[in-house]
Amino acid sequence: MMVQSSPENGSLREGIFSIPLHGPVAMTTVPEIRKVLLGAAKKRAVKEIRIDFSRVSKLDTSGVAMLVETWRGLARRGGALRLSGLSENAKRLIQLARLDQIFEIRDEAGSRIEYGS
């Protein structure tokens, strides 16, 4: 049985769109997630998107590309993309692409993770 990643019901509160994801964030699941994230990024009321990855089993390069596209949509309007609950492998993938310099990454307690240059 293949587990599909899907965005659970996101919530918008005070300009912050929060959404938990679960399952794999990979080539087969990205189109559905992308639609939700880009839709939120285009809304004027959304100043920040927070994505909880704590229940994500896999993040591949198509998922990372989707995050970059979402970040670009937000950055055009001065918005921010914040990620939390990333696995060690997902953190490494984001670091290798040097995207830890543009995404704000938080640990399980909500503290910002700072990476060395």
pLDDT at 113 over 90: no
User: For the ranges 1-5, 9-13, 21-25, which has the lowest average pLDDT?
Assistant: 1-5
Closest CA to 50 of 117, 111, 114, 106: 106
Round to whole Å and give the CA distance between 105 and 98: 12
* Residue 94, token pair as written in the block: 């984001």
**For domain 6-106, is the CATH number 3.30.230.10?**
no
Round to whole Å and give the CA distance between 55 and 64: 16
State the pTM of this model.
0.83
Domain ranges of the chain: 6-106
Tell which wins on pLDDT, 80 or 3: 80
- Taking only the tens place, the pLDDT of each residue in 50-64 is 999 999 999 999 999
pLDDT at 4 over 50: no
